[in-house]
Amino acid sequence: MTSATGQIEDKQRCQRGFTLIELILVLTLLAVAASLIAPRLSNFLKGRALDSEARRLLSLTRAAQSRAVSEGMPMLLWINAAKESYGLEREDANGKSDAKALEFSVDGRVQIEVVNSSSAGTMLRQVPSIRFLPDGSIDENSPQALRLNDSTGATLWLIQTRNRMGYEIRSNNK
């Protein structure tokens, strides 16, 4: 009886773990799967940077419009493509600084460009600006569109709506 019990115990010990070859095989399969998935995941994350930047810029246009209406003062959303930044501040003829001014840096994988800006366009510190008026409308000299490009060549547009009361994100400029 003891020999039968010993054989059962030996079988149980052998069935508890994996062999070294099985572990190496599983790790090899995981490495192959990771090498196939990594490039696709990388492209997905690059596309997310463009989308995220466009949504952040659109949110800032809406915040600027709301702030212009609530404070009864024009607001300027400025875009400095050369320094890869943009921001929001109150237009003040008295030269007072805006305590609520905001500034953002553009994601390093994304470039921003002002398109359809008139020669007499709204400017703040020598950079193009979108001017939101106290009635909620957009100044007629403000840029009609902003183009955002990423390193993969993908493009999103921030374009004035037909009623000229805001901006929207589009995948083309029409």
Beta strands in 67-166 (DSSP E): 75-80, 85-90, 102-105, 110-115, 123-124, 127-132, 145-150, 155-160
> At 164, which CATH number?
3.55.40.10
pLDDT, tens digit, for every residue of 106-136?
A: 888 888 998 865 555 666 668 899 999 999 8
Where in the sequence is the domain holding 116, given as residue range(s)? 49-170
Which residue(s) pair with 112 in the sheet? Answer: 148
Q: Could you tell me if residue 1 is inside a domain?
A: no
Q: What is the domain count for the chain?
A: 1
Q: Are 67 and 117 in contact (CB under 8 A)?
A: no
Q: What is the pLDDT of residue 98?
A: 83
Q: What is the pLDDT of residue 133?
A: 93
pLDDT, tens digit, for every residue of 124-173?
A: 668 899 999 999 899 988 888 999 988 878 899 999 988 888 999 998 76
Q: Could you tell me if residue 156 is inside a domain?
A: yes
pLDDT, tens digit, for every residue of 72-100?
A: 999 999 999 889 999 999 987 666 778 88
